[in-house]
Structure 1
Amino acid sequence: MSEQVVQITNPNGDSPALLVCEHASRHIPDDLNGLGLTAQDAISHAAWDPGALAVATHLSQMLNAQLVASGISRLAYDCNRPPSAPDAVPSRSERIEVPGNVTLSATDKADRVSRFYEPFRAALAQTVAAHPAPMIVTIHSFTPVYHGKQRDVEIGILHDSDTRLADAMMANHADYTTLNIQRNAPYGPEDGVTHTLIEHAVKSGHPNVMIEIRNDLIATPEAQAEIADMLGRWLNASIAETTK
């Protein structure tokens, strides 16, 4: 915890929504020597989800919801991946090489798991367990161009086997936004992105959804607040529908 591995905001929030932001930070602990990244790569979307924490924080305030966020770059450890996943400690992200992860020994990787993943997993598990009826909502952002291809989707509504909250959001999105909303895009379960949902919601029967926001839509504080306001109203209505 001394490394700010996990941050909990509004711990007494009473909203049914329990917010999670696994890629909130681009912080790389000093002893990892910047993972050998260039200065530009260390602040790129490969290192974190730009704008996601700001949106999640606005939502936490608007909904009076608890928020659990990682304080470590996903290049040090991706908290939305289990330790068994090859990309939990990635040596490459899109076109960006991560030299500090290329030659990791099993001991090195185990150290990353114990320092970064386990405290986050435990804090989120404890927060979920203490909530009377949580609906897990994870907040992410994605880059508009990936491997040279433009992405038309603006907000993705992602789910694994439990579709309840995602179904409600897809059914009523036109009431809240004219943005291009797509299901399980730009990623889906086949890409390994639903680990948090499976581990902390699906296994326990809690409704859940993962929200991906194209990061050019949340590039300024004003845009972050605007998107969060829209999402908050949309989520409230969808949660109410899901609990009927």
Structure 2
Amino acid sequence: MSDQVVQIVNPDGESPVLLVCEHASHAIPDDLNGLGLTPQEAISHVAWDPGAMATANLLSQALDARLIASRISRLVYDANRPPEAPDAIPVRSERTHIAGNADLSAAARSERVTRYYTPFRDALAAQVAARPAPVIVTIHSFTPVYNGKERHVEIGVLHDADTRLADAMLAEAARFTDLQVERNAPYGPEDGVTHTLLEHAIRWGHPNVMLEIRNDLIADAQGQARIAGILKPWLTAALSALKVAA
């Protein structure tokens, strides 16, 4: 089951960086009947992070880093949420109602956790444990307009209590890009988005950061290559400032 839920790219990568893409896929298992979504809704940004996995793949190659990704839509189970979080299995995402998640019994929620969250958590934990000094970097994308409000930030550098890598990246940002870079935007820890960082990095003292890329910047191969080409030297410089070799 785990290989149906989790994808590990470049499993022999030697970089200390472990890339994570929790919202890599919009796949919904057949037995969930599409969660009651229209075909358009099922491939929209509410179901996954468009462009994030492609960009993470390029960064994995550039850094020789392992990449751990979820193969399941975040509407089935959001791999970046703990089981107790209400939005781990969301009933609404932005303006989209997810009928297949409404009125789930405790047993049905528990089955989703067992089938989709636990294998991802365990696979990522195993990869973290296998590295002597891992650095956790999660890759996400966000929509340029959310609930009718335009977002001007282009790359968000997110952190929770451990700010080391985020601080280093923000200090180096102007050397590598003229894009609009902001701290903890368009989301922050108060939005419950730092679960992976808390679970797999902060509790063990590993450097970590969550990168949010506006999805219009990575909508095609050219944009994905451009952003990966920015992130590789930028992240490398930040890690060097922390005396970590990428």
Partner of 2:169: 169
Deviations, residues 8-59 of structure 1 (Å, cap 9, x unaligned): 0111111121100000000000000000001111010000000000000000
Displacement of 1:4 after TM fit? 1.7
Q: Which secondary structure state, in structure 1, belongs to the residue aligned with residue 87 of structure 2?
A: coil
Asked whether the equivalents of residues 7 and 69 of structure 2 are also in contact (C-alpha less than 8 Å), the reply is yes
TM-score (norm 2): 0.98
Displacement of 1:3 after TM fit? 6.3
Q: Can you give the 5+ residue segments of structure 1 that lack an aligned partner in the other structure?
A: none
Partner of 2:200: 200
Q: Which secondary structure state, in structure 1, belongs to the residue aligned with residue 82 of structure 2?
A: coil
In the alignment of these two chains, the number of paired residues is 244
Partner of 2:70: 70
Partner of 1:36: 36
Displacement of 1:243 after TM fit? 2.2
Q: Which secondary structure state, in structure 2, belongs to the residue aligned with residue 4 of structure 1?
A: helix
Partner of 1:213: 213
- Counterpart code for 2:42: A
Mapped to 2, the partners of 1:111 and 1:129 lie a distance apart of: 26
Mapped to 1, the partners of 2:241 and 2:20 lie a distance apart of: 21
RMSD: 0.8
Q: Can you give the 5+ residue segments of structure 2 that lack an aligned partner in the other structure?
A: none
| 1:1-244 paired onto structure 2 within 5 Å | 1=1, 4-243=4-243
Asked whether the equivalents of residues 19 and 137 of structure 2 are also in contact (C-alpha less than 8 Å), the reply is yes
Deviations, residues 47-86 of structure 1 (Å, cap 9, x unaligned): 0000000000000000000000000000000000000000
Mapped to 2, the partners of 1:23 and 1:36 lie a distance apart of: 20
Mapped to 2, the partners of 1:63 and 1:49 lie a distance apart of: 21
| Identical-pair percentage | 68
TM-score (norm 1): 0.99
Mapped to 2, the partners of 1:16 and 1:195 lie a distance apart of: 20
Mapped to 2, the partners of 1:87 and 1:73 lie a distance apart of: 13
Q: Which secondary structure state, in structure 2, belongs to the residue aligned with residue 152 of structure 1?
A: coil
Mapped to 1, the partners of 2:161 and 2:16 lie a distance apart of: 20
Asked whether the equivalents of residues 3 and 29 of structure 1 are also in contact (C-alpha less than 8 Å), the reply is no
